[in-house]
Amino acid sequence: MKKHILILPIALVLTLVLLTFAGCEDDKPGTTPLQTVNVDIYETVNYGAKYLFLHFETDLKTYPVTYSIRNGLKTNGNNFEINLPDIQKDKYGDQNILKGAATADVGLGTLANGVYNLTIKVAQNINTGTLTVGDSLMVLDFPSPQALTVNHDTVRRIPYGTVWGYISFSNAANDAIATAVLDSLTGIGALPANYPAGYYGYFSVDDTGAFTQNVPAEVEYHKPIFRYYNGAVAPLNQLLSFYHTEYHNKIDIVVYWFYPSGAKSGAIIPQRPGDGLHEELLFFKSNN
């Protein structure tokens, strides 16, 4: 059984993303017109500071998944101007690859609390609105959007110390092992989280406190992980390594953690539809 452990430092990943965007300008196999897009706001953690970015997807899902939305960003104080002129093709487009949305991630940086003016140009459609950043909320407001849909206008900010993910297994008999993982998390001080209801970008909490997240459709059984942990990195790594080593053919553990700020700054960022930016990702995955 092949195992995958992926650890991606943020500096490397952001560099690769920037090079990808730059490459779109220098090497153009061609473009295709951009019609309508939707947008979501996400945050990562960059060396102790929360970093915000916008994730764009085309509404059409018929493009080769290697296609991207060409994009440019201009900033001037509290003003951001994003240009999405068209869709960048690539040399793989005529091959038999998966189809889906064309995407783009546009980083806004580490923003202080306040109101920011945001202009998003989709092809020839100009949208003017605001991004309001607070301690606990981020709000996108576009009064009269054209060719642009805001999927979630209000996004709650993920507190430092949040741990989330899931334990998956293909045999119901391994439920007890998954339960043992949860008990072990409690043992190191990763206690069940109790957060206000709302959408947090990578997961949601309803009015009853129930936690939901996107889990791959191929997962047969799983137990969710939704905890708060502000302890040291080593105990969590040791716990995951133990179960990865001892039960690699029985369970998979996918865990994401917003580290507390300071010496342990960093983030563990989930995959999401569109598969955008990643930072340090503890991703223990087997193919059982």
Q: SS3 of 5, please?
A: strand
- Judgement on whether residues 23 and 127 belong to the same structural domain of the protein: yes
- Judgement on whether residues 74 and 99 belong to the same structural domain of the protein: yes
Q: What is the CA radius of gyration of the chain?
A: 20
pLDDT at 270: 39
- Judgement on whether residues 131 and 177 belong to the same structural domain of the protein: no
Supply the range of the domain harboring residue 97: 12-156
DSSP state string for 155-193: EEPPPTTEEEEEEEESSGGGHHHHHHHHHHHHHTT-EEP
pLDDT at 266: 36
Per-residue pLDDT of the chain (288 residues), as tens digits, is 444 333 333 333 434 344 444 444 444 569 999 999 999 999 887 656 788 999 999 999 999 988 999 999 999 999 999 999 999 998 776 676 789 999 999 999 999 999 999 999 999 999 999 999 999 999 999 999 999 999 999 999 999 889 999 999 999 999 999 999 999 999 999 999 999 999 999 899 999 999 999 998 999 999 999 999 988 888 888 898 899 889 989 999 888 888 755 433 333 433 433 333 333 333 333 333
- Judgement on whether residues 144 and 189 belong to the same structural domain of the protein: no
pLDDT at 166: 92
What's the rounded Cα separation, in Å, for the pair 103 and 70? Answer: 9
- For residues 164 and 149, the answer to whether their CB atoms sit within 8 Å is no
How many domains is the chain built from? 2
Does some domain include residue 3?
no
What's the rounded Cα separation, in Å, for the pair 256 and 274? Answer: 17
- For residues 117 and 79, the answer to whether their CB atoms sit within 8 Å is yes
- Judgement on whether residues 108 and 41 belong to the same structural domain of the protein: yes
- Judgement on whether residues 22 and 147 belong to the same structural domain of the protein: yes
Q: Which two tokens stand for residue 113?
A: 């609390």
- Judgement on whether residues 16 and 134 belong to the same structural domain of the protein: yes
Point out the domain boundary residue: 109, 140, 156: 156
- Judgement on whether residues 138 and 86 belong to the same structural domain of the protein: yes
- Judgement on whether residues 132 and 236 belong to the same structural domain of the protein: no
DSSP state string for 202-223: SEEE-TT--EEE---TT--EEE
Does some domain include residue 7?
no
Does some domain include residue 247?
yes
pLDDT at 46: 64
- Amino acid, res. 96: N
Point out the domain boundary residue: 156, 189, 211: 156
- Judgement on whether residues 144 and 249 belong to the same structural domain of the protein: no
Q: Which of 62, 70, 160, 60 is nearest to 106 (CA)?
A: 70
Does some domain include residue 147?
yes
Point out the domain boundary residue: 105, 123, 156: 156
Does some domain include residue 264?
no
- Judgement on whether residues 117 and 41 belong to the same structural domain of the protein: yes
| 45 burial via Cβ count (<10 Å: 0-12, 13-18, 19+) | buried
- Judgement on whether residues 38 and 119 belong to the same structural domain of the protein: yes
Kind and range of the H or E run holding 234: helix 233-246
